[in-house]
Chains A and B, each alone.
Chain A
Amino acid sequence: EIVLTQSPGTLSLSPGQRATLSCRASQSVGNNYLSWYQQKPGQAPRLLVYNAYNRATGIPDRFSGSGSGTDFTLTISRLEPEDFAVYYCHQHARSPLTFGQGTKVEIK
């Protein structure tokens, strides 16, 4: 099983600041099949980035993904008020599919 470890657990930032979220895998993620989701309270997760760096349909370009192998990053270039949420990474390269434990981006 590929274990995903996200850091930090919580990120306290102000609107307009840059957010950098990390996801580290216990084994290499084949084909870089690593995605990122955003989840707001009471809502289902929303796909932001897939295959490490491809933005999903309708996702603003302030969201960008990078990385390969075991180390991946989600960057939000300038935080908007609606970006404060929990973010999960997810590997869909190998069964069992797994998720990270989440990073909460909160308003400072």
Chain B
Amino acid sequence: QITLKESGPTLVKPTQTLTLTCTFSGFSLSSYAVGVGWIRQPPGKALEWLALIYWNDDNHFNPSLSSRLTITKDTPRNQVVLTMTNMDPMDTATYYCTHLGGWLSDYWGQGTPVTVSS
């Protein structure tokens, strides 16, 4: 059974760096073609893809945010970490991590809300 759970701060100040951790079970990032992605959703708005990382360290970023994003994996601990620098109130959203089959997000975490405010 695949499960994912996001963790991190619920409140960050403008210009700070956000660090989110996705802890998962039921699969391994050492397995071929397995990946983890991040997607966010501002309140009342649509979904926005952020980044993904694969078992072989291949990664991709949303070009509109790529200069602010870093994604890393800790395979033994079954974790993926997303960092986003220079946070702005416009980054207020629920952040989801997902299991990737190919590039398809087939399993989702429950999401973690992040508010950016001074």
Interface 1/0 per residue, A76-104 and B, CB below 8 Å: 00000000000010101101111111100
**Interface size class of chain B, counting residues whose CB lies under 8 Å from the partner chain:** 20 to 34
Docked-complex contact A92 and B102, CB < 8 angstroms: yes
A95 to B64, CA, bound (A): 12
A43-84 at interface with B (beta carbon < 8 Å): 44-47, 50-51, 56
Q: Which of B49, B60, B96 has the most CB of A within 10 A?
A: B49
Chain B, Cβ-Cβ closest to A95: B60
Q: Is the CB of B108 within 8 A of A45?
A: yes
In the assembled complex, how far is the CB of residue A41 from the closest CB belonging to chain B, in whole angstroms? 10
Contact A44 to B109, CB < 8 A, known contacts A96-B62, A101-B46: yes
Task: Please provide the chain B residues from 69 to 96 with a CB less than 8 Å away from any CB of chain A in the complex.
Answer: 96
Residue among A33, A95, A100, A101 facing the most chain B CB atoms (10 A cut-off): A95
Tell me whether chain B's interface is mostly helix, strand or loop, or mixed. strand
Given contacts A44-B110, A45-B108, contact A100 B46 (CB under 8 A): yes
0/1 interface trace, chain B 41-52, chain A, CB 8 Å (1 if under) = 000001111001
Interface residues on A, range: 20 to 34
The 8 Å CB contact of B47, one of A1, A33, A99, is A99
| B104 interfacial by beta-carbon distance below 8 Å | yes
- Which among A1, A33, A37, A46 is the interface contact of B103 at CB below 8 angstroms? A33
Q: Which of chain A's residues has its CB closest to B96's CB?
A: A44
A50 to B100, CA, bound (A): 12
B residues near A, CB below 8 A?
Answer: 37, 46-49, 52, 60-64, 96, 102-111
Closest 5 CB pairs of A and B: A92-B103, A97-B49, A44-B108, A99-B47, A95-B60
22 contacts between A and B (CB under 8 A): A33-B102, A33-B104, A44-B96, A44-B108, A45-B96, A45-B108, A46-B108, A47-B104, A47-B105, A56-B106, A88-B46, A90-B105, A92-B102, A92-B103, A92-B105, A95-B103, A96-B61, A96-B62, A98-B49, A99-B46, A99-B48, A100-B46
